[in-house]
């Protein structure tokens, strides 16, 4: 059944359409344009002074609502998905953290099944929740020197046979993988993963510039939480950050929570990567949307106080939501809302090969978020289903 959405403006996000109409049919956008050019069909939902934007896509998230995505609990993913949908996310990539091999394999199997189920699920109630689009494997192929809070005993050297175990357990649903390119065997794993369509992200790395560029040449195309858990930028030793900031073959993401990056460094990152290659992530953990206290990140215990998440004195993810990240770019970096929205929609979708999400155009998935003038979420629409 077709229906029509109207509002004050629409952010495609590459363009702004004033007084738009969006016609949705069967979960897909069938017509889009100004009210003068597009005839309303079926039920009309008038959003008044609000703006319509593509649904946010979070490619790096560990949990929320008190649950971790690696939990062996059927309530975990629905709780995470319900919470992040309330903050504008319509598609996400549940992200693992380094853990014992058997635990990682079990988590990958559960997540792979959940993604397959979401792909087939026609239950309208599912539309109140964000959809898992693929798995982000963060660890165990990362640097001991830049591991952050990832347990050192569970780190593994990059090996094709280990990657194959992960791939099979996930049912081929690994779509993003963070890896340190300087590790022995990394270039072979990077090349194999990229050949299978995985967005290979360089991160948790102590790589020199040469090692980082070898990773890019092998198939690396993205960078994980830029500036965090990587060799610092030196004026005579640029390291992996030199590649992240300057190499146009790379997209890169950042945690814009005001904690992981100083506002001036956030501005530096955004100027270096620009509106086409910068990506926002949350790196959110189970504590997101919850009061201060102790929470789990994989097998780790994390203390949350005043919005800062730590384990053993180190930052351990965040309680950031994607709508807050977008607003922070507007407020801290002085970007306009349309450009900030692009960092949470089109850019992450393109980085991970999601061709039907991240933009509003004919033929795209009808995943949308409704924002007021301050970028606060008023409504989230997943798969074109409205209440």
Read off the pLDDT of residues 255-265 as tens digits, 9 standing for 90 and up.
999 999 999 99
Q: Where are the alpha helices (DSSP H) in the chain?
A: 76-86, 101-120, 160-169, 186-195, 209-218, 239-246, 263-277, 322-333, 337-342, 346-351
User: Residue 125 pLDDT more than 70?
Assistant: no
Rg of the chain over CA atoms, in angstroms? 20
Region for residue 230 given its phi and psi (left: phi exceeds 0; alpha: psi -120 to 50; beta: otherwise): beta
Region for residue 27 given its phi and psi (left: phi exceeds 0; alpha: psi -120 to 50; beta: otherwise): left
**Alpha carbon 226 to chain centroid, angstroms:** 14
User: Residue 119 pLDDT more than 70?
Assistant: yes
User: Residue 360 pLDDT more than 70?
Assistant: yes
What is the mean predicted confidence (pLDDT) over 317-323?
Answer: 98
Rounded to the nearest integer, the mean pLDDT of the chain is: 96
- Closest to 298 (Cα-Cα) out of 61, 68, 77: 68
- Closest to 135 (Cα-Cα) out of 168, 164, 93: 93
Name which residue leads in pLDDT, 373 or 121.
373
Read off the pLDDT of residues 263-277 as tens digits, 9 standing for 90 and up.
999 999 999 999 999
Read off the pLDDT of residues 169-195 as tens digits, 9 standing for 90 and up.
999 999 999 999 999 999 999 999 999
SS3 content of the chain, % helix, strand, coil (to 5): 30, 25, 45
pLDDT of residue 121: 66
CB-based burial, 298-332: b 16+ in 10 Å, e otherwise: bebebbbeeeebebeeebbbbbbbbbbbbbbbbbb
User: Residue 387 pLDDT more than 90?
Assistant: no
User: Residue 124 pLDDT more than 90?
Assistant: no
Q: How confident is the model at residue 127 (pLDDT cuts 50, 70, 90)?
A: confident
Enter the tokens of residue 178. 């963070």
CA end-to-end distance (rounded Å), the chain: 14
User: Residue 2 pLDDT more than 80?
Assistant: yes
Distance (Å, rounded) from C-alpha 220 to C-alpha 340? 25
Distance (Å, rounded) from C-alpha 155 to C-alpha 144? 8
From residue 11, alpha-carbon distances to 6, 122, 376 in Å are 12, 28, 14
Q: How confident is the model at residue 128 (pLDDT cuts 50, 70, 90)?
A: confident
User: Residue 123 pLDDT more than 70?
Assistant: no
pLDDT of residue 112: 98
Domains in the chain, start-ordered, CATH in brackets? 1-54+358-387 (2.30.40.10), 56-356 (3.20.20.140)
Distance (Å, rounded) from C-alpha 277 to C-alpha 342? 10
CB-based burial, 133-160: b 16+ in 10 Å, e otherwise: bbbbbbbbbbbeebbbbbbeebbbebee
Of all residues in the chain, what percent carry a pLDDT higher than 90? 96
User: Residue 209 pLDDT more than 90?
Assistant: yes
Of 68, 206, 253, 283, the active-site residue reads 283
User: Residue 144 pLDDT more than 90?
Assistant: yes
Q: What is the pTM of this model?
A: 0.97
Residue 15 appears among annotated catalytic residues: no
pLDDT of residue 313: 93
What is the mean predicted confidence (pLDDT) over 281-291?
Answer: 98
């Amino acid at each position: 059944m077709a229906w029509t959405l109207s509002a004050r403006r629409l952010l495609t996000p590459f363009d702004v359409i004033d007084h738009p109409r969006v016609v949705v049919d069967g979960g897909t956008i069938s017509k889009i344009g100004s009210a003068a050019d597009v005839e309303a069909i079926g039920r009309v939902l008038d959003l008044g002074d609000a703006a319509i934007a593509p649904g946010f896509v979070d490619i790096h998230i560990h949990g929320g609502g008190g649950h971790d995505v690696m939990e062996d609990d059927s309530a975990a993913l629905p709780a995470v998905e319900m919470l992040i949908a309330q903050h504008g996310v319509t598609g996400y990539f549940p992200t693992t953290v380094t853990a014992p091999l058997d635990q990682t394999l079990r988590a990958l199997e559960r997540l792979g099944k959940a993604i397959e189920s979401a792909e087939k699920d026609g239950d309208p109630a599912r539309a109140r929740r964000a959809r898992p689009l693929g798995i982000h494997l963060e660890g165990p192929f990362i640097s001991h020197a830049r591991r952050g809070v990832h347990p050192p005993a569970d780190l593994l050297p990059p090996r094709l046979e280990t990657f194959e175990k992960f791939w099979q357990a996930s049912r081929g649903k690994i779509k993003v993988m963070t890896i340190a390119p300087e590790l022995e065997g990394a270039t072979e794993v990077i090349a194999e993963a990229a050949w299978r369509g995985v967005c290979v992200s360089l991160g948790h790395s102590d790589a020199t510039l040469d090692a980082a560029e070898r990773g890019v040449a092998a198939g690396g195309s993205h960078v994980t939480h830029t500036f965090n858990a990587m060799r610092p930028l030196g004026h005579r030793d640029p390291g992996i950050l030199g590649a992240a900031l300057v190499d146009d073959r790379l997209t890169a993401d950042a945690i814009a929570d005001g904690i992981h990056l100083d506002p001036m460094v956030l501005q530096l990152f955004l100027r270096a990567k620009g509106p086409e290659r910068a990506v926002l992530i949350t790196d959110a953990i189970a504590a997101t949307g919850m009061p201060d206290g102790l929470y789990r990140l994989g097998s780790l215990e994390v203390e949350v106080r005043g919005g800062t998440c730590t384990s053993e004195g180190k930052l351990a993810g965040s309680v950031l939501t994607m709508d807050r990240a977008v607003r922070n770019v507007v407020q801290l970096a002085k970007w306009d809302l349309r450009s900030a929205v692009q960092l949470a929609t089109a850019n992450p979708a393109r980085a991970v090969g999601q061709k039907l999400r991240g933009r509003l155009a004919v033929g795209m998935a009808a995943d949308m978020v409704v924002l007021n003038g301050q970028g606060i979420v008023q409504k989230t629409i997943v798969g074109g289903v409205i209440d």
